[in-house]
Each structure stands twice: as structure tokens, then as C-alpha cells.
Amino acid sequence: MRGFFSSLVPGISPEVIISRLIIMVFLLPVHEAAHAWTACRLGDSTAKNMGRLTLNPIKHLDPLGSILLLLMGFGWAKPVPVDPRNFKKPKTGMGLTALAGPLSNLIFALVLTALVRLMLIFSGSLASLPDIVIYYILNILIGMAYVSVSLAVFNLIPVPPLDGSKIFALILPDRLYYKMLIYERYISIAVFLLMFTGVLGKPIAFLTERIFNLMLFPYKFFS
């Protein structure tokens, strides 16, 4: 499942639409709410005051980003507002707040893979459900876990406006970081074009596969 990073294809199947709706309703809100929660814990209640400390997708979804996600396979949510002046250490606060988004997606993926494993272990208790129902539930959970990892990988790319740029700023000299911010608009356009053309698809898919398989590795000892 290419999910968040799938390229433009002729025709969209119902399964693809469902998977993209799941991303919008579950994965994006988890990511954005994690930013809001971390910022609040570090002293900035801006996002909380604006109603963004919630898993309600309506509070997080961007209209244009949602439409592109449904039609083209990639999109975005509304950025969580953060005021670095409220942090004791602004640069560190921004970095930790940025890290919370991708980290929440990785934790979410771990929980989902564990749930899949539990369902397989206790499959006898699910005997009352039709096999086709169990099959679809397992595939949805696995698909959500995979896309959650891919969302984390994408956001960890260290270029603006992605979370990775703020994390990278923790080790980047201020002079270079502010120079990068000057060109943020142009870098954002370049990232968008790379997403649209699918150039980013292969490296992101490569890293996603490795991380996802690493998550599944412990379960091989109990199979």
C-alpha cells in the first residue's frame, strides 16, 4: 500500500478511497494532536486554545489538502499553531514539538501491529466472525500501520516545511537554520513537485519497508 505517497493513477478504486479516508480520519489527527499536546506540555498553549488538542479530524483537516489526498494520494492537514516565545528554550521546544508528530505515528503503528498479532493468537475466539470479515479487519489494521510508518518517514525529511527541518535545527547552527528559513517557500514548492511526480516515492517506500519489517521482526519468534 503506497497510501499517503501513492502517485496519480487513472481511476480510483473504492478500496483506495477507503484507505485514504482512514488516513484522514485517524492518522493525520493523531499526528497533529501530538504536536499540540507536546507544545502544551512544554509551555505553549496556543494550539490548545485554538481547539487543536483533540483527535477530532474536523479540527485538523485542511480542505485543499484533504481533496488532494483523496484524489491524488498525498495531502496535508492544517499546521498546528506554535508560538516558540512561550518555550523556555524556543529552539529545543520547536524541535521536540516537531518530533512528537512522527513519533506518535510510529507508536501508533506499533500498537496496530501488536493488535494484529493478538488477533492472530486468539483467532479461535473470533471463530464466530466470517473469515472474510477477519481478513478485511486484519488488512485494514496492517495497512494503517504501514501508512502510519510512511507518514512518519516522510515528515522526518529534514527540509521545510516538514517536521524534520525543525528537528534538524537542534544540531544546525542558527546562521544556517535561519538561511534555510529564508528559502522555505521555494523548498516547499520543490518538495510538493517531488511528491507529485513520485520521485520521493521510492526512497520513502524503501525506508518504510525497512522500519515496518523491523516492527514485525519480534513477532517472528512467536509464530
Question: Active-site residue numbers?
Answer: 32
Alpha-carbon span 193 to 47, nearest angstrom: 29
Q: Is the peptide bond before 130 cis (omega within 30 degrees of 0)?
A: no
DSSP of 93-109, one letter per residue? Answer: HHHHHHHHHHHHHHHHH
Contacts (Cβ under 8 Å, ≥6 apart) of 84: 44, 90, 91, 93, 94
Residue 14 CA to residue 20 CA, distance in Å, equals 10
Of 42, 49, 31, 50, the closest CA to residue 84 belongs to 42
